[in-house]
Structure 1
Amino acid sequence: MTLLPRNNGSGILSAAQTEGNQLFPVFLKLNQLHTVLIGAGNVGLEKLQALLNNSPQAKVTIIALEILPEVTALTADYPQITIIQKAFEEDDLNTADLVVAATNNPQLNDYIRQSARERKLLINVADKPDLCDFYLGSIVKKGDLKIAISTNGKSPTVAKRLKEVLNDGLPDEIDTSLQQLSDLRATLKGDFAYKVKALNEATAVLVKPVEKQKSEFKNTFRWVIWSTIVVSIAVVVTALWAQDPGFRTYVQNVDPLFYYFLGAGFVFAMIDGAIGMSYGVTSQTFSLTMGLPPASASMGVHLSEIMSNGIAGWMHYRLRNINWKLFKLLLIPGAIGAVTGAYLLSSLEEYSKYTKPVVSVYTLILGIVIFRKAIEKKKRKKGDKVKRIQLLGLAGGFIDAVGGGGWGSIVLSTLIAGGRHPRFSLGTVKLSRFFIALMGSVTFILMIGHTTKWPAVAGLILGSALASPIAARISNRISTKAIMVAVGLIVIGTSLKSIYGFAVKFF
């Protein structure tokens, strides 16, 4: 059966079908094919170099009456290449898979082409594009990466120039990247969409050399804008302080707690941006150390987390990282747990001197967990998927409200350790965390809003908000392990100090 090309219905191919480059690029395994090269002059040498540069194990038989010394010298290092010094005969193609004619005799080249066609062999005729079944185009080679360039035989010079540009533009280290991507691909076990996204993220760095100048300009321009904003605010505040006695009096009358918590909120949000956790436990521990009752401390943490988790949840929603079934299972029990925990902790606000050490024990445990995660080298084996999601959400919401943090470290870590997909687990936990923080905050405000030290809460909220835009950028330049070790030790130390202080007073 003979397959014919489709046409436009009139039996005549359209202009779009006949114009342009009609070549179909393929990559041949020359180490498994037998190539016969006729001609060993300057053109034959060029063809042989092209073959060996791209396939050092290529099996080639060279047939020629006259052989350049350079050809003999080149083949000395390739034992699989055979040189036969004689005139070409059509039977020389009986064992060939590919044919390359590189003689300076047009009649001989025509004879070689006719012999190849009779045997249904593909042939390349040097400097005669119309006689070629395939071209030996310009090749860019960087380790395992190869890029073939074709101008449809019209301009080898342009192909060579493009080859030079790509050789200069592509780094030699790209071969290492290919190997690492191959290793990454072998480890991916998710669905096709997840694999594509993971490989896209890993290969995004490949476009950086092309957009380097553009990216540098954007980064410089961005820093100029932020620097201008900061300097402008500093100038305005300095001028008001120097010229306006009312402003100076107002600032001096602001509760010092505001400034302490402003700086603390900024630092804790930066840490959270670097390691993806610990904002709740560090903020809660600091608040307890500064003398805030547990309920007020937890309320400040939850209020400051509403906006950050709302934005994060929205981004995960846009990226389709939400497991809606899991979200529904977590949301209602988590909200019930948060409201219950907030109500219980607020009801015991007058007994804060007794509840404070209990919360300090909890933050001590979280500090130990953070420290262990920092020094843990081996990955834990995943078990069966967690089935009692509602119970996990209820416990996570309750403990989070009582201790000021823990929803992420408890719920997220349990889901992932139980075999849930990390990406969908993270997105679902972040979105549900927004509602958990909102419900807990409303309960705290209704219960203890009139007795809360609002300057401390306001400072924590503003500090974390100011850190959010730059936390992600700073995170890539800081050692995650070092930060986690430091945070773990600080939380453990401050928690032990709080517990020791209670023990001394009580006993």
Structure 2
Amino acid sequence: MTLLPENNELTSIQDEKIGGNQLFPVFLKLNELHTVLIGAGNVGLEKLNAILHNSQEARVTVIAKSVNQGVYDLSIAYPSVKIIEKAFSDEDLDDADLVIAATDNSDLNTYIRESAHQRRLLINVADKPDLCDFYLGSIVQKGDLKIGISTNGKSPTIAKRLREVLDENIPHELDQSLQHMSQLRETLSGDFADKVKKLNKVTSVLVEQKNERKNLKWLIWLSIVFALIVTVTTLWYNEPAFKGYVEEINPAFYYFLGAGFVFAMIDGAIGMSYGVTSTTFSISMGIPPASASMGVHLSEIMSNGIAGWMHYRMGNINWKLFKSLLLPGIIGAVTGAYLLSSLEHYSMYTRPFVSLYTLILGVVILLKAIKLKRKAGQKKIKKISLLGFGGGFIDAVGGGGWGSIVLSALIAGGRNARFSLGTVKLSRFFIALMSSLTFITMLNGKHWEAVAGLVFGSALASPIAAKISNKISTKTIMIAVAIIVMFTSLRSIVNFAMKIL
């Protein structure tokens, strides 16, 4: 009878060591419970998707005055979902087992919580961890295997990243192993210790298989690198035409190749600063602002296209916000690219202004690194079209800044960070595409060694940037980037001033 007290005491000690996470993970049979979801906007749609993805037969009643089309679509696909279009009232919870509040009215969410607690019901309040009795964690599922991940409400983004890592590394075949283990367990005889010993022996093969897959992955990559080295070496010594072609390549290409790789790695680690670092480096190497901006935007087309597509698949796009940003952003970007390209002959005079802009962005990055928070009560930005035009124009002229300007403004104004990020990433693809086309049309292939170096360098870094980012201190990198950008920009401004004087 001493087993339970000893375990409780051990749990208490472990809680103190790990920081006091008091959450107790459970798996609910939502198909046997009645869930009431109040709110049917984008957040409500996200919550409903999470429920139905994990429990297709969950019985859910959605209550809202206005309903997102996506919620209607789910109610058609899942007969257990019922929609009631009306304002919330206390009686709506009389038949509930679980409650989820997902309205955009914080006072209403608080009222719903009080009403739920009066009925002794558990409630989840969207984006308000302190008001939640339970969280909807990230889920990894492989057949009958299901793993729940929670960060105690601190960072849903980290939970999502962990889910992606586990989902990628846990093979789908594990569900077959699970079924076999279930059958094997029914055939085992003997005492508990003997059964555990036999099961441990059988499951040890899973770890061995994982190590074999990891070793195979490294073997494949090493084989590819070795094959490339052998191919290039053979061509160098046996094909004079190839050797002559390589020797004719402008050495600046290799500098920008390495710089593009490094800047893309930094961007993968902190999620920003590729534009400002690439533009600052290009200008310090004597590349005119227009060509520098062209290189940045060409190299960003693919990365932002992939990122935008992933956010679209995850439902992280606010389409109303997207439409408000897209056309003004494109007009601003094309206008900025056209103006900067037209002034290419006067790059000596435009360069200090661009350097001043990158200096300001360096300060912005530094402020982000020290985690300055927005002032309480700050209102949402309503002139989205103006923000999109200004962000697109400045991004094209300065070689970067769409994310730093538009995304920062949206989040600082109180908009949902996840939907803002997804919307900005998707719109960024079209901004980069249109500004790149404008630059190519206007510049007639000038400074292609720098442009090509950035494009290939960033492309090489893309597959490994995300993995490297998990092992690097984000704050340290942001501070270092900010200092380097500010120093280089100030140097360009000072050199220009000395030439004038």
TM range (shorter): 0.5 to 0.7
Distance 1:332 1:398 in 2: 12
In structure 2, the residue matched to 1:93 is: none
1:243 Cα deviation (Å)?
A: 2.2
1:477 equivalent in alignment to 2:471: yes
In structure 2, stretches of 5+ residues that fail to align are 26-123, 140-147, 152-158, 171-202
Instruction: Name the amino acid aligned to 1:400.
Output: D
1:189 equivalent in alignment to 2:128: yes
* Residue 49 to residue 372, structure 1, CA distance change in 2 (3 Å): closer
Contact 1:270 1:471 in 2 (8 A): yes
In structure 2, the residue matched to 1:457 is: 451
* Residue 261 to residue 358, structure 1, CA distance change in 2 (3 Å): same
Q: 2:423 aligns with which of 420, 424, 428?
A: 428
Secondary structure at 2:128 match in 1: coil
Secondary structure at 1:299 match in 2: helix
Secondary structure at 1:383 match in 2: coil
Instruction: Name the amino acid aligned to 2:21.
Output: Q
In structure 1, the residue matched to 2:11 is: 143
In structure 2, the residue matched to 1:4 is: none
After TM superposition, which residue ranges in structure 1, 4 or more long, deviate above 6 angstroms? 172-175, 190-194, 205-211
Q: 2:231 aligns with which of 236, 254, 273?
A: 236
Give deviations 1:141-192, integer Å, cap 9, x for gaps.
Answer: x7289xxxxxxxxxxxxxxxxxxxxxxxxxx689948816579x89942899
Distance 1:414 1:182 in 2: 37
* Residue 182 to residue 336, structure 1, CA distance change in 2 (3 Å): farther
Output aligned runs, 1:22-171, within 5 Å: 48-49=1-2, 143=11
Give deviations 1:419-453, integer Å, cap 9, x for gaps.
Answer: 11111110000000000001101111111124x11
Q: 2:217 aligns with which of 203, 222, 227?
A: 222
In structure 2, the residue matched to 1:122 is: none
1:255 equivalent in alignment to 2:260: no
In structure 1, the residue matched to 2:490 is: 496
In structure 1, the residue matched to 2:462 is: 468
Output aligned runs, 1:246-285, within 5 Å: 246-285=241-280
Contact 2:15 2:22 in 1 (8 A): no
In structure 2, the residue matched to 1:8 is: none
Instruction: Name the amino acid aligned to 2:475.
Output: K
Question: Please, what TM-score do these two structures have when normalized by structure 2?
Answer: 0.63
Distance 1:427 1:276 in 2: 12
Q: 2:21 aligns with which of 159, 162, 179?
A: 179
**Number of aligned residues:** 347
1:321 equivalent in alignment to 2:189: no
Instruction: Name the amino acid aligned to 2:485.
Output: V
1:372 Cα deviation (Å)?
A: 2.1
* Percentage of identical aligned residues: 61
Distance 2:342 2:295 in 1: 17
Contact 1:143 1:175 in 2 (8 A): no
Instruction: Name the amino acid aligned to 2:492.
Output: S
Give deviations 1:66-101, integer Å, cap 9, x for gaps.
Answer: xxxxxxxxxxxxxxxxxxxxxxxxxxxxxxxxxxxx
Give deviations 1:216-245, integer Å, cap 9, x for gaps.
Answer: 444333222222211211121122212222
Give deviations 1:281-301, integer Å, cap 9, x for gaps.
Answer: 000001101111111110111
Contact 2:374 2:412 in 1 (8 A): no
Output aligned runs, 1:393-404, within 5 Å: 393-404=388-399
1:382 Cα deviation (Å)?
A: 6.1
Secondary structure at 1:179 match in 2: coil
Distance 1:420 1:212 in 2: 44
1:288 equivalent in alignment to 2:288: no
Secondary structure at 1:402 match in 2: helix
Secondary structure at 1:143 match in 2: helix
Distance 1:174 1:402 in 2: 53
Distance 1:304 1:201 in 2: 35
Output aligned runs, 1:250-399, within 5 Å: 250-376=245-371, 381=376, 383-399=378-394
Secondary structure at 2:272 match in 1: coil
* Residue 201 to residue 436, structure 1, CA distance change in 2 (3 Å): farther
In structure 2, the residue matched to 1:134 is: none
Distance 2:406 2:237 in 1: 51
Distance 1:321 1:221 in 2: 35
Distance 1:472 1:50 in 2: 44
Distance 1:312 1:410 in 2: 18
* Residue 52 to residue 298, structure 1, CA distance change in 2 (3 Å): closer
Q: What is the RMSD computed on CA atoms of the aligned residues?
A: 3.2
In structure 1, the residue matched to 2:404 is: 409
* Residue 177 to residue 355, structure 1, CA distance change in 2 (3 Å): same
In structure 1, the residue matched to 2:110 is: none
Contact 1:295 1:402 in 2 (8 A): yes
* Residue 381 to residue 489, structure 1, CA distance change in 2 (3 Å): same
* Residue 215 to residue 408, structure 1, CA distance change in 2 (3 Å): farther
Instruction: Name the amino acid aligned to 1:278.
Output: S
Instruction: Name the amino acid aligned to 1:392.
Output: L
* Residue 54 to residue 362, structure 1, CA distance change in 2 (3 Å): closer
Give deviations 1:116-162, integer Å, cap 9, x for gaps.
Answer: xxxxxxxxxxxxxxxxxxxxxxxxxx7289xxxxxxxxxxxxxxxxx
1:55 Cα deviation (Å)?
A: 7.7
Secondary structure at 2:21 match in 1: helix
Distance 1:316 1:269 in 2: 20
Contact 1:188 1:195 in 2 (8 A): no
Give deviations 1:346-398, integer Å, cap 9, x for gaps.
Answer: 11111111000000000011111112222346665462221111111011000
In structure 2, the residue matched to 1:169 is: none
